[in-house]
Amino acid sequence: MEIFHISAECYPMAKVGGLADVVGALPKYQNKAGHQVRVVVPCYDTKFKKENEFECVHWGEIKLGSFDFPFSVLKEKTDKLGYELYLIEIKELFDRPNVYGYEDDIERFLSFQIAALDWISARATVPDIINCHDHHTGVIPFLIKYAYKYDKIKNVKTVITIHNGLYQGWFGFDKLHYLPEFDLIHVGFLEWNNAINSLAVGIKCAHAVTTVSPSYLNEINYSANGLEELFKTVRSKSQGILNGIDIEIWDPSTDKMLYENYTTKTSGPGKQKNKEKICEQFDLDPAKPLFSFIGRLFEEKGGDLLPQASALALSENFENINILILGSGNAEIESQLTQLRNDYSGNYNVFIGYNEELAHLIYAGSDFILMPSRVEPCGLNQMYALRYGTVPIVRRTGGLRDTVIDFGDDGNGICHDQASVGDICYSINRAVKLYDDKVNFNKIIERGMTTDHSWERVCEEYIKIYNLIIQQNEV
Ligand code: GLC
């Protein structure tokens, strides 16, 4: 089967969050399973772009209202990622260092979608499936079906995978003329709450909707930033598929970013060496349990709870623990976390920013990973942590609920129900006791390290959905 994944992010070309990891890995495993898989992302000015070679396979010009943008399609020459990677180069809009956060993001991602479809419809072969990811590619299922100029590919089956339903890519009907011409009888597909809502468009028009975990699919029926009613109406074409992780990249026995590699058998001394390295770097004490947080510092991830929870946990435990935070996001949270250094130096530290290498080392060297998320469609960090023998402490929500079971129920981690400072601290206190109970602690670590979260299994579930919608006739 010929499959296209179209996305705003793909690791290692461009990463902001977990979306990149998924789009960087799922295609590789689909390819290994015998399919022809291509990934299409915008051509940002990133390190990967600068350090790799590309060839131009197509060029053209798109119209966005009264603007004309020349574009090129660049293919990474070696296919070393395990699939063909294509970049849509629109210099004026994407030759910038960041993925998101510009005033013209709507123009940027609409242009990206239009250019990608112009190219796909100009190719000699018509693909079987186009798998879109999140709102940045949400208009594609509509355009394929209804824009006149994509007549050649109008029967291609589409899937939209929702990694995060909070962000929806709204824009006003004043920008309707940006879209390629279509029969206005279909305009209703674009509308949600008096605006054009890119994610809603994708959900309405795609042949199948997937979320990145089964529990998240249940949750969005009552909490989806205004799209609850829409999700209810598309339930029959929706499925929750738990993400996998790339176990070739995330393997503590071979990971080059670690200070010391280890296996399940050697995890005790192996993890300790990594811990010593981190503790040295961040002025922490390797004799005490290390609790870490890695991720974006936003309310969605419970980032706002971290300053108070850290302070309380550190004072309650008479400085018998270490806490290390790696992340960036909300400026207020960043500054509160930075200030805490003054009160708890030697037991607490924070690295504001994003650093893939450091993240790997922290997974390896920590004893516990904190994930107090309010919303977590899947969450990959708990799976990385489990694989690296680090016990996840999570709030039961979305994919965290599907992957982490409390050790009290013979599980692999520590769970609480509320996104609150109290619940986080309660879990940290339980973790401190568990840490001292070495027999049990090691059992839980082993359970986590031997759980299979590989993509092989998961990627079959996507293929099943693709097959199902390919067989369906249009009504
Ligand atoms: C988003 C979600 C996260 C999920 C990731 C990959 O970043 O917030 O929960 O794991 O996408 O699907």
Q: What is the CATH number of the domain that holds 145?
A: 3.40.50.2000
* Ligand 1: nearest atom to the Cα of 300: 8
My answer on whether 142 and 43 are in the same domain is yes
In this predicted structure, what is the pLDDT of residue 271? 98
Best probe residue, ligand 1, of 16, 19, 21, 22 (max atoms within 8 Å of C-beta)? 19
For 163, residues 6+ apart whose C-beta sits below 8 A from its C-beta are: 18, 19, 22, 133, 134, 212, 377, 378
Does residue 261 sit within a domain? no
**What distance in angstroms lies between residue 219's CA and the mean position of ligand 1's atoms?**
15
Does residue 132 sit within a domain? yes
In this predicted structure, what is the pLDDT of residue 35? 98
Q: What is the mean pLDDT of residues 191-203?
A: 98
Does the pLDDT at position 319 exceed 90?
A: no
Q: What is the mean pLDDT of residues 355-376?
A: 97
* Ligand 1: nearest atom to the Cα of 21: 6
Please tell me the residue having the least CA distance from ligand 1 atom 5.
18
In this predicted structure, what is the pLDDT of residue 474? 64
pLDDT of 298-309, one tens digit each?
999 999 999 999
Ligand 1 interacting residues, C-beta cut-off 6 A = 17-19, 22, 163-164, 212, 243, 376-380, 399
Please tell me the residue having the least CA distance from ligand 1 atom 7.
18
Query: Could you tell me the pLDDT band of residue 475, with boundaries at 50, 70 and 90?
Result: low
**What distance in angstroms lies between residue 163's CA and the mean position of ligand 1's atoms?**
5
Does residue 405 sit within a domain? yes
* Helix (H/G/I), strand (E/B), else coil: 320: coil
Does residue 127 sit within a domain? yes
**What distance in angstroms lies between residue 280's CA and the mean position of ligand 1's atoms?**
31
Best probe residue, ligand 1, of 136, 163, 199 (max atoms within 8 Å of C-beta)? 163
Does residue 262 sit within a domain? no
Does residue 414 sit within a domain? yes
In this predicted structure, what is the pLDDT of residue 193? 97
* Ligand 1: nearest atom to the Cα of 376: 9
Please tell me the residue having the least CA distance from ligand 1 atom 12.
163
My answer on whether 460 and 447 are in the same domain is no
Does residue 258 sit within a domain? no
**What distance in angstroms lies between residue 128's CA and the mean position of ligand 1's atoms?**
26
Does the pLDDT at position 31 exceed 90?
A: yes
Q: What is the mean pLDDT of residues 47-61?
A: 98
Taken as a whole, the chain contains a residue count of 475
**What distance in angstroms lies between residue 1's CA and the mean position of ligand 1's atoms?**
26
Does residue 255 sit within a domain? no
Range of the domain at 102: 2-244+456-471
* Helix (H/G/I), strand (E/B), else coil: 350: strand
My answer on whether 50 and 158 are in the same domain is yes
Q: What percentage of the chain carries pLDDT values higher than 70? A: 99
> Mean pLDDT in the chain?
97
* Ligand 1: nearest atom to the Cα of 17: 7
Please tell me the residue having the least CA distance from ligand 1 atom 10.
379
**What distance in angstroms lies between residue 49's CA and the mean position of ligand 1's atoms?**
24
- 15 appears as a binding residue in the annotation: yes
My answer on whether 88 and 210 are in the same domain is yes
My answer on whether 160 and 228 are in the same domain is yes
Q: What is the mean pLDDT of residues 370-394?
A: 98
pLDDT of 107-164, one tens digit each?
999 999 999 999 999 999 999 999 999 999 999 999 999 999 999 999 999 999 999 9
CB distance 327 to 297 below 8 Å:
yes
pLDDT of 39-52, one tens digit each?
999 999 999 999 99
Strand locations in 229-365, DSSP E? Answer: 238-240, 290-297, 322-329, 348-352
My answer on whether 374 and 435 are in the same domain is yes
My answer on whether 81 and 20 are in the same domain is yes
In this predicted structure, what is the pLDDT of residue 457? 84
Query: Could you tell me the pLDDT band of residue 466, with boundaries at 50, 70 and 90?
Result: very high
My answer on whether 343 and 313 are in the same domain is yes
* Ligand 1: nearest atom to the Cα of 398: 9
My answer on whether 136 and 216 are in the same domain is yes
pLDDT of 63-107, one tens digit each?
999 999 999 999 999 999 999 999 999 999 999 999 999 999 999
My answer on whether 318 and 212 are in the same domain is no
Q: What is the mean pLDDT of residues 236-264?
A: 97
In this predicted structure, what is the pLDDT of residue 253? 98
In this predicted structure, what is the pLDDT of residue 317? 85
My answer on whether 104 and 196 are in the same domain is yes
> What pTM value is reported for the model?
0.95
Q: Nearest to residue 73, comparing CAs of 37, 121, 34, 31?
A: 121
Best probe residue, ligand 1, of 378, 382, 453, 462 (max atoms within 8 Å of C-beta)? 378
Per the structure, the count of domains in the chain is 2
* Ligand 1: nearest atom to the Cα of 212: 12
**What distance in angstroms lies between residue 137's CA and the mean position of ligand 1's atoms?**
16
pLDDT of 259-274, one tens digit each?
999 999 999 999 999 9
CA dihedral for 138, 142, 145, 151, sign (positive or negative):
negative
Q: How many CB atoms lie within 10 A of CB 320?
A: 15
My answer on whether 422 and 466 are in the same domain is no
CB distance 133 to 8 below 8 Å:
yes
* Helix (H/G/I), strand (E/B), else coil: 145: helix
**What distance in angstroms lies between residue 244's CA and the mean position of ligand 1's atoms?**
11
- Which single residue is written with the structure tokens 């990133």? 46
DSSP codes joined into one string, 43-84 = ----HHHHHS-EEEEEEEEEEETTEEEEEEEEEESS-TTSSE
Does the pLDDT at position 405 exceed 90?
A: yes
Q: What percentage of the chain carries pLDDT values higher than 90? A: 98
Does the pLDDT at position 209 exceed 90?
A: yes
